[in-house]
Amino acid sequence: MRMTSRKKEILSFFEPEHREWVTGEVGAPPFDVSGIAYLLSGMDSYKFRHHLESARRTLEAMVNDGLLEKITSYEQRQDSTQSGAGKGVWCNCSRYGLPGSCVVMRDNGGKGNAIDGEAVRVG
């Protein structure tokens, strides 16, 4: 595994001192590919597809190296052919976060491994 400057920059987006700025720009982690591409390349990431593909390849390499964890979520996203008023399309979206921070367990009514109590979002 080679720790490149781009990988270091992506990992810096998860650091507490950058959390407020990053959350204001693209939302809270776990991040999707377009959010990371925007943080890396700015508005150019929406004009040139190679920015998205480069970010995706780097994120996948980081998952393979064990630096990040990948989850797939079913989300409503805006299609590139829609205007701002469009409702979007539902699709599977890959999201990336630090290892151990993306684990989601389904609550099946207290019959699983869930602990009774309140849920609190940390950091």
* Domain spans of the chain, in order of start: 5-97
pLDDT in tens, 54-110: 999 999 999 999 999 999 888 887 766 656 566 778 888 899 999 887 655 555 555
**Residue 36 confidence (pLDDT) above 80:** yes
Model pTM greater than 0.95?
no
The confidence score (pLDDT) of residue 83 equals 60
Edge to edge, what strands does the sheet with 31-32 contain? 31-32, 89-97, 69-77
Tokens of 52: 């998205």
Determine the 3-state secondary structure of 12 from DSSP.
helix
CB 59 within 8 Å of CB 39: no
Query: Which region among 12-16, 20-24, 41-45, 119-123 has the lowest average model confidence (pLDDT)?
Result: 119-123
Distance, first Cα to last Cα, the chain: 29
